[in-house]
């Protein structure tokens, strides 16, 4: 696919996504698969990956995770 911003080529890569939970706690998800633009560095995360990340955050919230870091690969 092409970058929505600059129409450059996007290569598969990994990114880090920070999320703020309802209780104000911030959880950072590591090793999230993403496409990254070769030209401008824009990151695009696929819909199914986003859904998995949301499940991961749900579980982390229920577990009362205090660390603030979860690894994407651990849930897949």
Instruction: State the minimum distance, in angstroms, from the CB of residue 33 to Zn ion.
Output: 18
Q: Does 34 bind Zn ion (CB under 5 A)?
A: no
Specify the residue, 4 or 68, whose C-beta has the smaller distance to Zn ion. Answer: 4
CB–CB of 33/46 below 8 Å?
Answer: yes
Q: Does 2 bind Zn ion (CB under 5 A)?
A: no
Integer angstrom CA distances of residue 41 from 3, 13, 73, 75: 9, 11, 23, 26
Q: Quick count: other Cβ atoms within 10 Å of Cβ 27?
A: 19
Q: Does 5 bind Zn ion (CB under 5 A)?
A: yes
Give the interface with Zn ion as residue ranges (CB under 5 A). Answer: 3, 5-6, 8, 37, 39-40, 42
């Amino acid at each position: 696919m092409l970058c929505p911003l600059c129409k450059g080529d996007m290569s598969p890569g990994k990114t880090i996504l920070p999320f703020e939970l309802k209780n104000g706690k911030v959880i950072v998800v590591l090793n999230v698969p993403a496409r990254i633009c070769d030209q401008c560095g824009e990151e695009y995360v696929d819909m199914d990956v986003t859904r998995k990340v949301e499940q991961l955050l749900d579980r982390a919230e229920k577990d009362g995770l205090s660390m603030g870091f979860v690894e994407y690969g651990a849930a897949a």
